[in-house]
């Protein structure tokens, strides 16, 4: 949950320790009460495909060298990690709204 400290504007002004506690409650609420864990797995699978599909296509259909494949793989891996972080944040935000609404 450290990567989401300072990420949400709703709790940005609070201390890092307090944000961690709130984010952990929000994560727990999102994935147990709201049952969004299936969606999280789906996001993970889709982002994994995004990471590995472009280098495989480059290698199979184009006669490029290994440097191009590694470069495309690195860029697609970076983009998939960033996309996964954003998608997970949307799920955690649903729990965060509920946790902050409770008091």
Task: Give residue-wise pLDDT tens across range 58-95.
Answer: 888 887 788 888 899 999 999 999 999 999 999 999 99
Q: Is residue 85 part of a domain?
A: yes
Inter-residue long-range contacts of 33-42, CB under 8 Å, 24+ positions, other chains counted: 33/95, 33/98, 34/94, 34/95, 34/98, 36/91, 36/94, 36/95, 39/91, 40/88, 40/91
Q: Is residue 71 part of a domain?
A: yes
Q: Which domain holds residue 30?
A: 17-102
Q: Is residue 93 part of a domain?
A: yes
What mean pLDDT comes out for the span 34-51?
Answer: 95
Q: Is residue 1 part of a domain?
A: no
Q: Is residue 3 part of a domain?
A: no
The rounded percent of the chain whose pLDDT value lies above 90 is: 81
Q: What is the Cα–Cα distance from 54 to 56, expressed in whole angstroms?
A: 5
| Domain count of the fold of the chain | 1
How far lies 7's CA from each of 10, 15, 25, 32, 90, in Å?
A: 9, 13, 16, 22, 11
Q: Is residue 86 part of a domain?
A: yes
> Is the sign of the CA dihedral 28, 34, 37, 43 positive or negative?
negative
pLDDT of 103 reads: 65
Q: Is residue 12 part of a domain?
A: no
pLDDT of 90 reads: 96
Q: Is residue 61 part of a domain?
A: yes
């Amino acid at each position: 949950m450290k990567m989401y400290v300072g990420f949400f504007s709703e709790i940005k002004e609070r201390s890092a320790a307090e944000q961690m506690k709130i984010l952990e409650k929000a994560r727990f609420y999102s994935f147990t009460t709201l049952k969004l864990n299936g969606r999280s797995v789906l996001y993970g699978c889709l982002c994994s495909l995004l990471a590995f599909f472009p280098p495989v296509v480059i290698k199979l259909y184009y006669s490029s060298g290994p440097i191009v494949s590694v470069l495309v793989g690195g860029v697609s891996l970076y983009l998939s990690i960033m996309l996964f972080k954003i998608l997970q944040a949307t799920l955690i935000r649903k729990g965060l709204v509920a946790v902050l609404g409770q008091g």
